[in-house]
A and B are shown apart, each in its own frame.
Chain A
């Protein structure tokens, strides 16, 4: 069987790219070595959000008095919380199987290795069911994703028992009484938020001088305050030098401001970034150009090898599902010769903790580094009617415009529901909105989204409600 496109990896990049290619009339196969939907559906975005929802609801039960409500003995069953999360992934993965069938995409279960081929590299699959299948296609799309980075030199390697990566942390056998989380990016903070909500003693260790280091400074500061208030411990500007496994639990050696400290806990989660799954799939032999461990691609996903595309995590940061989907769908359109618009949409980032954090575009610091002349607006949720009515007054919206052109450069939010609100800013930036467009838009009242309008007005000193 010869295909127009073989996609390797069925994560949110691979499977969506496969569907779009099929919509474009290409004959498509997709190779998956584990479960349809990849990390996102099975061991990432989706199961984590299931856990976090349980945590959020449980957390609310402790603040019922805010709403004039009461309940006696709110409780939880850790096993059931985990089971629910696993059930959600099963539903979602089944959905991908249906989509593959609906779009007449052949699913090949097995591990792929690339070999030199005619139009594009040949895909040699060691089938799960046994045997080897060689698949030839006009195009090959690498959508092999990434996995948690481990650092053997300091003992930061998952053993599945006491030292975890996100995978272990999503489906543990039991709830640890205490956890040390190394890394305060979105993954580290989400696990901190989840486990803390269920009563685990959590300490987050961050090497940089602030948590959520990719976010705007003000958001990092507000988040730190909020999480500390929830009882999460932090070690900032702290370097982990060694992780030991004494008789029980873990001992994490850290250096803070030149002083050494040993943190003890039942377990720890290593959340210090990712490595691309680019090893052992024949890329060296093909002479695929790499860039710091990632496959190098151009703006259409093309690599330096004829017929070979790479998208998503394996092709570089940001390591986010929606970035992978966008790249894959774009590449599938490109290879089908469809007209592509020149849009260069920014990639939003979300952290689904309590409180939530969401942002798109550049931070104030980045604007300074780029020597952009900007005007900045802010609006706190405590001045927003809906937020007050909902007892969700924590956080704010911050918006950054270029002074001369009014171009919306970045938006940064922390608070309840902000991950659902950031899309308004995404659309605005993609459509090249200016401050006038945001200021002239009618936002529904009362909603927390009015903070977007107010922050935009604040950039010109014309805020109404503070």
Chain B
């Protein structure tokens, strides 16, 4: 018998709303099944079963607010009855119930990657000729981005890789420095004793993250612009919207509203929806918003296409669906490749402010901090407002300071007064 505990979405989270149960007493669940939805002011998160077994009791009803973290919310009867492990769960709540607490719908780290989500050991789709060429040239297919049908690695991708030096397997020669994480001195040389640590091998995703972000951070002249946004109106609007959408079973998160506002602001300041290419600045027609989603072993940026044309309910449904499938690594390449602007949100972890690394080839990335009550001065008077700090990292080759400022101001205007999004 195992108690399922209320998970913590962030280290600072104390309580949350148990929004919905996906199971009822007597249901059999296996590891990975979604059993419930938890909600905080920023995120809606699915709770997955970690063990398999039968739901013996539901201890907290759906819709209950203020459920304290680590409160037992349900009881699971394990297959082998007493054989179910019951280690000191109270001390390690996240281990049993929420090993993926960071995988909240919109949870994110400041380093998104829109590159193939490669599971190590998974078969890489590649043409026979590409395989042969990779073998001859000692390239690791797992590190290459396929541009053939269904993301298949084809001859041209190998030729590109040979030109750029990407995908070198094993010994990264000096020439490949531009694509591989810098070869540092060994830890031993730096005075860390052998045997004093465990080495986790780099899987495909980790390598892609290392390569892409190294390239981006080193090669792109980037700068951050930070602004404070009061979101009391937004929170009030969200509450009303969610009441209205309740019958449809849709919950709009703050992040969903941010995504919509980001897209609408891009329509107002299209210069910020751009990519640098050697041939010229690509001005994108649509605001395809990539949202950074942390997943087991890395992160990925699924895309809300043409977000400027979508309703909040639509965006909410899509973010939920994409984040869920991102976590299961079931996204198709076209669902996480080719966004025009990224949003990364660490607010649910209580992060106040951060500056993300540019997600190539996008011109900008927005980093969203936590919404919190802060003292503000209004008309010479001290007042309290819910304030959220956001930072726009810009690729200076595409977005100059004044453009970035114009954009982030337009965004602030929409978020502070969300009714303007209707205009």
**Which A residues form the contact surface with B (CB < 8 A)?**
337, 339, 341-344, 404-407, 431-434, 436-437
In whole angstroms, what is the CA distance A309 to B128 when docked?
34
Question: In whole Å, how far is A337's beta carbon from the nearest beta carbon of chain B?
Answer: 7
Given A341-B147, A404-B136, A431 and B156 touching (CB < 8 A)?
A: no
Q: A341-B147, A342-B147, A405-B136 are in contact. Are A434 and B128 (CB under 8 A)?
A: yes
With A405-B136, A406-B132, A434-B129 given, name 9 new contacts (CB 8 A): A339-B338, A341-B149, A342-B147, A342-B148, A343-B149, A344-B156, A432-B128, A434-B128, A434-B132
B157 at the interface (CB under 8 A from A): yes
Report 30 cross-chain contacts, Cβ distance below 8 Å, ordered by A residue: A337-B285, A339-B334, A341-B147, A341-B148, A341-B149, A342-B147, A342-B148, A342-B154, A342-B156, A342-B157, A343-B148, A343-B149, A405-B129, A405-B132, A405-B133, A405-B136, A406-B129, A406-B132, A407-B132, A407-B155, A431-B127, A432-B127, A432-B128, A432-B129, A432-B155, A433-B127, A433-B128, A434-B129, A434-B132, A436-B128
A433 vs chain B, min Cβ distance (A): 5
Residue B313 CB within 8 A of the other chain: no
Chain A CB within 8 A of B130 CB = yes
Contacts of B154 in A (CB 8 A): 342-343, 432
Q: Which 8 pairs, one residue from A and one from B, show the smallest C-beta to C-beta distance?
A: A432-B127, A432-B129, A342-B147, A341-B149, A434-B128, A342-B156, A407-B129, A405-B132
Q: Return A115 CB to nearest CB of chain B, in Å.
A: 26
Interface of A is mostly: loop
A432: chain B residues within 8 A (beta carbon) = 127-130, 154-155
Closest to A408 in B: B129
Asked if B285 contacts A433 (CB within 8 A), the reply is no
- Interface size class, chain B: 10 to 19
A residues less than 8 Å from B132 (CB atoms):
405-407, 434
B93 → A minimal CB distance (Å): 43
* Residue of A whose beta carbon sits closest to that of B129: A432
Q: Which of B270-294 contact A (CB under 8 A)?
A: 285
A434 neighbours in B (Cβ, 8 Å): 128-129, 132
- Shortest A413–chain B CB gap in Å is 22
CB contacts (< 8 Å) of A407 on chain B: these are 129, 132, 155
Identify which of residues 334-355 in chain B touch chain A, using a CB-to-CB cut-off of 8 Å.
334, 338
Which residues from chain B contact A339 at a C-beta distance below 8 Å? 334, 338
Name the distance in Å between B302's Cβ and chain A's nearest Cβ: 16
Closest chain A CB from B145 CB (angstroms): 11
Contacts of B127 in A (CB 8 A): 431-433
Complex Cα distance A213/B173, Å?
47
Q: Considering only CB atoms, which chain A residue lies closest to B157 in the complex?
A: A342
- Report the bound CA distance from A341 to B337 in whole Å: 13
**A344 CB contacts on chain B under 8 angstroms:** 156
Complexed CA–CA distance, A406 and B147 (Å) = 21
Query: How far is the CB of A390 from the nearest CB of chain B, in Å?
Result: 32
B334: chain A residues at CB < 8 Å are: 339
Alpha-carbon distance between A284 and B284 when the two chains are bound, in angstroms: 31
B125-156 to A contact mask, C-beta < 8 Å, 1/0 = 00111101100100000000001110000111
Distance between B245 CB and nearest chain A CB, rounded to angstroms: 29
Give chain B nearest CB distance to A142 CB in angstroms: 23
- Tell me, rounded to whole Å, the shortest Cβ–Cβ distance linking A446 to chain B: 27
On chain A, the residues within 8 Å of B149 by CB distance are 341, 343
Interface bits B318-362 vs A (CB < 8 Å: 1, else 0): 000000000000000010001000000000000000000000000
Chain A positions within 8 Å of B128 at CB level: 406, 431-434, 436-437
- Report A22 CB to chain B, min CB distance, Å: 20
Check A433 against B129 for contact (C-beta < 8 Å).
Answer: yes
CB of A70 to closest CB in B, whole Å: 51
Contacts of B136 in A (CB 8 A): 404-405
**Inter-chain contacts of A433 with B (CB < 8 A):** 127-129
Bound state CA distance, A437 and B128, in angstroms?
8
Residues of B within 8 A of A341 (CB): 147-149
| Residues in B neighbouring A343, C-beta threshold 8 A | 148-149, 154
- Cα A436 to Cα B132 with chains together (Å): 11
Q: Using Cβ atoms and an 8 Å threshold, which residues of chain A touch B148?
A: 341-343
Residue of chain B at shortest CB distance from A440? B128
CA distance A436 to B285 in the complex (A): 44
A402 to chain B, nearest CB (A): 9
Closest to A434 in B: B128
Q: A430 → chain B, closest Cβ, in Å?
A: 9
Q: Which residue on chain B has the smallest CB distance to residue A341? A: B149
**Closest partner residue, chain B, to A438 (CB atom):** B128
Interface residues as binary, B85-106 with A (CB distance below 8 Å gives 1, 0 otherwise): 0000000000000000000000
**How long is the Cα–Cα vector from A344 to B133 in the complex, in angstroms?**
17
Nearest chain B residue, comparing its CB with the CB of A436: B128
Docked CA distance A433–B156 (Å): 14
Distance between Cα atoms of A407 and B149 in the complex (Å): 19
CA distance A433 to B148 in the complex (A): 14
| A-contact 0/1 string along B284-321, CB 8 Å cutoff | 01000000000000000000000000000000000000
Which B residues are CB-close (under 8 A) to A405?
Answer: 129, 132-133, 136
CB nearest to A339 among chain B residues: B334
Chain A proximity of B39: nearest CB distance (Å): 35
